[in-house]
Amino acid sequence: MTTRRELREHAFCMLFTGGFYETEEARLQTDLYVQELSEMNEDDAGEREWKRLPDLSEEERKSLTEKVKAILARVPELDERINAVSTGWKTTRMSRVDLTLIRLALYEMLYDDTVPVKVAINEAVEIAKKYGGADSPSFINGILARLVV
């Protein structure tokens, strides 16, 4: 069984990868990601290697893919909301990591009743610590705090 955080990180990776493609190609990339699910791990000596993750259950795979496709379909709407509160940092200027995490959290805040708003924000901040820059957690927290609905 995969944890919610792991599923959210996979959603982030799928959205991040899909963000480099046009809409249809992005959907194909998300499908490819699920099929070839893997992660870069670092061993004790600092060596990096690709390690296949345990397979997702069919239910997890389906839920993850549906969520990512729903987010991709709402990118224009999400970006409009983000741009409305991000003075001086429109989506076109944001790092892809930060923007992807903000989109994911905002989608959860607006459309996923199973995720409390505080959890969506906290998870985005925690994932930013892993994938983003030094200022990513505070930047993401600040934007999402303005978007609390």
Residue range 76-95: mean pLDDT, rounded: 92
Per-domain residue ranges of the chain: 1-72, 74-149
For residue range 48-85, list pLDDT tens digits in order.
Answer: 554 444 567 778 888 888 898 899 889 999 999 999 99
Which one has a higher pLDDT value, 140 or 92? Answer: 140
Superfamily of domain 74-149: NusB-like (1.10.940.10)
Q: Hey, what are 12's tokens?
A: 């982030």
Residue range 108-129: mean pLDDT, rounded: 96
pLDDT band at 38 (very low <50, low <70, confident <90, very high): very low
DSSP 3-state of 40: strand
The confidence score (pLDDT) of residue 54 equals 55
Exposure string for 117-138, b = 16+ CB within 10 A, e = fewer: eebbbebbbebbeebbeeebbe
